[in-house]
Amino acid sequence: MQALFQPVGETIIFKFWFLDVTQESLLFAFRVAMRITVMISAFTLLLMTTHPSELMSDLTRRGLPGQFAYVVISSLQILPQMQAKAQTIISAQRSRGLDTQSSFLRRVGGILPLVGPLVFGSLVEVEERAIAIEARGFTSNRPKTFLREIQDTPFDRAIRWILLALVIVTLILKLWLS
Amino acid sequence: MNIEIKDLHFTYPTGLEALRGISLTIETGEQVAIVGQNGAGKTTLVKHLNGLLQPAHGHVLIGDWDTGKHSVAKLASRVGYVFQNPDEQLFSKNVGAEVAFGPRNLGFSAEQVQALVKDALALTELTDKTETNPYDLSATWRKMVALASIISMDTPIVLFDEPTTGQDAVNVARIANVIAELRARGKTVITITHDIDFCAENFERVIAMSQGIILLDGKANDVLGQEETLATTYVDPPQLTRLGKRLGFRNTVRNQEEFLNNLQGLG
Amino acid sequence: MAIVNLQNVTYQYPLTDVPALQSINLQVEEGEFVAVIGPNGAGKSTLCYTLAGFAPHFFKGELTGTVEVAGNESQNSTLSEWVLNVGLAFQNPFNQISGAKYTVFEELAFGLENIGIPRQEMKTRVQDAMKLTGISDLADRSPYSLSGGQQQRVALTSILVMQPKVLVLDEPTSQMDPIGTREVFGVIHGMAERGMTVILAEHKVEWIAQFADRVIALKDGKILLDGTPAEVLTSPLLHENGFGISRYTSAARQARETGLWRKQELPVTLEQAVEGFSSTFAKGEEQG
């Protein structure tokens, strides 16, 4: 897609209708794809090697608002639970004759019986959960403490500095070479 | 409309063997309670009756229909299933529309739907709340809306999953009245319940399950008197049954009337 | 000196026509176990929320009168400070799990992290609380892998670690199966035995009769009855007003009319019923 819609380039490789694919645009597309891949793999690596609890604790310690951290991390566990709830809702409505196998148009009309209870039921649950965490001091202004100790070893620090140095070197090289 | 279950086996995808050879027959108009500890297979069994689950082995017949050959939506014309949590089915803008949902899906004409809705609302004491949004009602009344929504489908068989959980005495009495009315209309009523007193007072037949098999199946008075067997599936006998036993009654009693009759006999 | 003191408390939720609580006067001594009964809509939950400060701080609405616990007034406190005075647990155990923690131990520490308890003290409090409520073996389990009864016990423990002065429980066994009910009542009874002031809204009359020191019957936001379990649970007013009563009470009341129950007091528990009915026949006399 990127290759098709990129206007620059002179060396036309082939034509597709009125859109040209040039060597330059292919290279451009390749670069974009690589960037996206790097970002996704970095993020995935982060998620796979770091326990969500630790990630959130550490971010909170460094200034991320507690409420934000809570919303992110609780959704990791609660959303799968909501999936189970959604299954029950589907079963309940099928038991009332809702045909989940009929034509597309009928199914569009049939969304409300499935989505409605999920949304309304969730609103009730959210209020209760808010009360429950409030009852455990969630909105307290006192400075928070952490059960898990996140160690910041000299090794960790060294790696961070090395990586930072690599980024700077790469930037310098890029500017110098261009 | 009879229900026939032959050698039913079912295993969940997780590998849990939830039903290990269930066979039973329920005849038209019977009132049956299914009791037993969590995990005994009660809900699994009941979900086979309207096709939500399909047997791994054995078969389930609702009248002349094999549940393996009909969709859940079709079986819904013969088996109504009241789920435990009303909030998992309510979505309409008012009670009337909610109660009409089921019969409309079943293909009744507009006049028939209107009549069925009117009747179901009257039975559940909801007539004055027809225009109210279900979520504006208290939990007590949302429960009744859920009941009405299934009653309006006018199915010959009605299933209840824990109908009295969390309900106060007044609403339990209302639910008992609804069940009595269904009985009077010749419906087959099957309920799963932990409330053994409610079970004793409203159901003639009791099935006790444990670990995927049926431990006991018979008349309420017989089953509820078997304290030791029931204890293996964590079921305590009803209050008055226990009292009668402690007072040395010859018979097993299951409600106040029987208790007082037997008490007379002691003197 | 009463640890809980409600003086002429009236509370109305926003957008409603009628107050949910009307002129409530209630004093509870330290260490008392008070049960609150009433039909749905009578105001049990509202009373619980009022004691715990959620009415009016969370729900807004109008509160008149004073709500005093251990010398502090809820209207003069922020909610986050008030919850340290009064702990609250309610019906649905699933909604009381924060979702932010992956083990029961961490879940129990969640509240302590919020209020800034030092790490070592956190660990001690959690370990001690788990021992008290008998859930030490669940420490490494995910809260979502537990049964309803286990989850509810975790919820209770997570409030206990906050060390409130008063524990308010809004129908904690309503959604439990018989095993769960037994487990939860075991924990509550244990806490009461250790001197905790407990206010419990409940339907299950037999359990209340066994454990509570005092029973309050609520109807339409007002206190209808206030007395010992024996007094309140056998009062004819209960049946007339749609409260659930023990079947032993009901049977004995009817048996009394034909002389088959001779005692002055009606029974609430099985043992009381056995004793009373046995004594009718032990005397060996016939009644018409």
Domain ranges of chain B: 3-58+74-236, 237-267
Place of tokens 């309670």: B33
**Listed residue (C145, C143, C174) closest to C244, CA to CA:** C174
Distance CA C187, CA C8 (A): 32
DSSP helix/strand/coil, C259: coil
A86 inside domain:
yes
Per DSSP bridges, beta strands B188-192 and B157-161 are: parallel
Q: Name the neighbours of A, counting chains with at least 3 Cβ pairs within 8 A.
A: B, C
Of all residues in chain B, the one with the smallest CA distance to C271 is B243
Distance CA A14, CA B25 (A): 73
**Residues whose CB is less than 8 angstroms from the CB of residue C135 and which lie 6 or more positions away in sequence, other chains included:** C104, C150, C153, C154, C157
Please give the average per-residue pLDDT across B228-236, as a whole number.
93
What residue numbers bound the domain in which A40 lies?
A: 1-49
Which chain C residues contact residue A132 at CB under 8 A? 90, 95-98, 155
Burial label for B110, CB within 10 Å (0-12, 13-18, 19+), is: exposed
Please give the average per-residue pLDDT across C80-89, as a whole number.
94
Q: Characterize C131-162 residue by residue with b for buried, 16 or more Cβ atoms within 10 angstroms of its Cβ, and e for exposed.
A: ebbebeebeebebeebbbbbbbbbbbbbbbbb
A69 inside domain:
yes
Which chain B residues contact residue C281 at CB under 8 A? 266-267
Under an 8 A CB cutoff, do A146 and C81 touch?
Answer: no
Q: How far is B171 from chain C (nearest CA, A)?
A: 9
Q: How far is A56 from chain C (nearest CA, A)?
A: 9
Instruction: Record the tokens describing residue B147, joined without a space.
Output: 């009941």
Residue C34 has pLDDT above 90, yes or no: yes
Under an 8 A CB cutoff, do B259 and C251 touch?
Answer: yes
Of all residues in chain C, the one with the smallest CA distance to B242 is C270
Same domain, C93 and C181: yes
Residue C16 has pLDDT above 60, yes or no: yes
* pLDDT tens-digit series, residues B253-264: 999 999 999 988
Q: Is A151 on the interface with C (CB under 8 A)?
A: no
Burial label for C286, CB within 10 Å (0-12, 13-18, 19+), is: exposed
Across-strand partners of C62? Answer: C12
Total domains, chain A: 2
Per DSSP bridges, beta strands B57-62 and B65-66 are: antiparallel
Distance CA C89, CA A135 (A): 8
Q: Is A79 on the interface with C (CB under 8 A)?
A: no
Q: Is B170 on the interface with C (CB under 8 A)?
A: yes
Domain B3-58+74-236 classification at class level = alpha beta
Best A68, A76, A136, A151 residue to mutate vs chain C (most C CBs within 10 Å): A136
Omega before C172 within 30 of 0, i.e. cis:
no
Name the band, by pLDDT with cuts 50, 70 and 90, for residue B45.
very high
**Residues whose CB is less than 8 angstroms from the CB of residue C177 and which lie 6 or more positions away in sequence, other chains included:** B37, B38, B194, B234, C148, C149
**Residues whose CB is less than 8 angstroms from the CB of residue A41 and which lie 6 or more positions away in sequence, other chains included:** none
A173 inside domain:
no
Same domain, C27 and C43: yes
Instruction: Record the tokens describing residue C195, joined without a space.
Output: 């001197």
Q: How far is B217 from chain A (nearest CA, A)?
A: 27
Same domain, A44 and A68: no
Q: Is A126 on the interface with B (CB under 8 A)?
A: no
A170 inside domain:
no
Under an 8 A CB cutoff, do A99 and B88 touch?
Answer: no
Residue-level pLDDT at A11 = 59
Q: Which of A131-135, B175-179, C174-178 has the lowest mean pLDDT?
A: C174-178
Same domain, A24 and A69: no
Same domain, A61 and A42: no
Distance CA C85, CA C159 (A): 11
Q: How far is C178 from chain A (nearest CA, A)?
A: 23
Same domain, A124 and A66: yes
Selecting from B172, B197, B242 the residue whose C-beta is nearest the C-beta of C270 gives B242
Mean pLDDT by 10 residues, chain A (178 residues): 60 63 77 89 83 80 83 86 89 90 63 87 89 93 85 81 90 85
C265 inside domain:
yes
* Partner A, chain B 224-263, Cβ-Cβ below 8 Å: none
What residue numbers bound the domain in which C23 lies?
A: 2-100+165-239
How confident is the prediction for chain C on average, in pLDDT? 93
B240 in Cβ contact with B255 (< 8 Å): yes
Place of tokens 């068989």: B157
Please give the average per-residue pLDDT across B149-176, as a whole number.
95
Distance CA C270, CA C281 (A): 17
DSSP for residue C260: S
Same domain, C178 and C276: no
* Partner B, chain C 247-266, Cβ-Cβ below 8 Å: 247-248, 250-251, 254-255, 258, 260
Under an 8 A CB cutoff, do A95 and B85 touch?
Answer: no
A32 inside domain:
yes
Same domain, C255 and C221: no
Same domain, A32 and A57: no
Q: Which of A163-177, B13-27, B120-134, C94-108 has the lowest mean pLDDT?
A: A163-177
A111 inside domain:
yes
Which chain B residues contact residue C238 at CB under 8 A? none
Q: Is C281 on the interface with A (CB under 8 A)?
A: no
Residue C288 has pLDDT above 80, yes or no: no
Name the band, by pLDDT with cuts 50, 70 and 90, for residue C287.
very low
Please report the number of interchain residue pairs, chain A to chain B, with beta-carbon separation below 8 angstroms: 71
Within chain C, residue ranges assigned H as helices are 44-51, 54-57, 79-82, 104-114, 119-133, 148-160, 178-193, 205-211, 229-233, 236-240, 247-257, 270-282
Same domain, A42 and A58: no
Residue C187 has pLDDT above 90, yes or no: yes
Distance CA B85, CA B87 (A): 5
Q: Is C87 on the interface with A (CB under 8 A)?
A: yes
Residue-level pLDDT at A15 = 64
DSSP for residue A149: -
Instruction: Record the tokens describing residue C234, joined without a space.
Output: 């056998």
Selecting from C39, C177, C286 the residue whose C-beta is nearest the C-beta of B170 gives C39
The kind and range of the H/E element at B238 are: none
Total domains, chain C: 2
Q: Nearest 5 degrees, angle CA B71-CA B147-CA B235?
A: 90
Which chain B residues contact residue C147 at CB under 8 A? 38
Distance CA C70, CA C68 (A): 7
Distance CA C2, CA C25 (A): 12
C193 inside domain:
yes
Across-strand partners of C169? Answer: C89, C200
CATH number at residue C186: 3.40.50.300
Under an 8 A CB cutoff, do C114 and A132 touch?
Answer: no
Q: Name the neighbours of B, counting chains with at least 3 Cβ pairs within 8 A.
A: A, C
* pLDDT tens-digit series, residues C114-173: 999 999 999 999 999 999 999 999 999 999 999 999 999 999 999 999 999 999 999 999
Distance CA B37, CA B230 (A): 10
Q: Given strand B17-26, what is the order of strands in its sheet?
A: B17-26, B3-11, B57-62, B65-66
Same domain, A74 and A35: no
Selecting from A74, A135, A144 the residue whose C-beta is nearest the C-beta of C83 gives A135
Residue C41 has pLDDT above 80, yes or no: yes
Under an 8 A CB cutoff, do C88 and A135 touch?
Answer: yes
DSSP helix/strand/coil, A83: helix
Same domain, C189 and C271: no
C192 in Cβ contact with C33 (< 8 Å): yes
Under an 8 A CB cutoff, do B168 and C171 touch?
Answer: no
Under an 8 A CB cutoff, do B166 and C171 touch?
Answer: yes
A66 inside domain:
yes
Same domain, A24 and A38: yes
Same domain, A73 and A129: yes
- The C-alpha torsion from C158 through C2 and C173 to B235, rounded to 10°, is 120
Best B243, B253, B256, B258 residue to mutate vs chain C (most C CBs within 10 Å): B243
Q: Give counts: helices (H), strands (E), chain A.
A: 7, 2
Residue B196 has pLDDT above 70, yes or no: yes
C108 inside domain:
no
Of all residues in chain B, the one with the smallest CA distance to A106 is B105
Q: Is A124 on the interface with B (CB under 8 A)?
A: yes
Same domain, A58 and A110: yes
Q: Is A110 on the interface with B (CB under 8 A)?
A: no
Selecting from B165, B234, B266 the residue whose C-beta is nearest the C-beta of C281 gives B266
Under an 8 A CB cutoff, do B88 and A85 touch?
Answer: yes
Distances in whole angstroms, Cα of residue A100 to Cα of each of A82, A95, A97, C37, C177: 20, 11, 9, 44, 33
The kind and range of the H/E element at A58 are: helix A52-61
Place of tokens 């016939």: C286
pLDDT > 90 in chain C, percent: 88
**For B54, how many CA atoms within 13 A lie in the half-sphere containing its CB?**
7
Please report the number of interchain residue pairs, chain B to chain C, with beta-carbon separation below 8 angstroms: 83
* pLDDT tens-digit series, residues C231-256: 999 999 998 898 989 999 999 999 99
Instruction: Record the tokens describing residue A32, joined without a space.
Output: 């974009």
* pLDDT tens-digit series, residues C49-67: 999 999 999 999 999 999 9
Under an 8 A CB cutoff, do C100 and A148 touch?
Answer: no
C176 inside domain:
yes
**Residues whose CB is less than 8 angstroms from the CB of residue B249 and which lie 6 or more positions away in sequence, other chains included:** B262, B265, B266
Biggest CA-to-CA distance, chain B: 61
Which chain C residues contact residue A50 at CB under 8 A? none
**Listed residue (B184, B77, B79, B90) closest to B134, CA to CA:** B90
Same domain, A61 and A17: no
Q: How far is C76 from chain B (nearest CA, A)?
A: 31
Under an 8 A CB cutoff, do A101 and B71 touch?
Answer: yes
Q: Is C232 on the interface with B (CB under 8 A)?
A: no
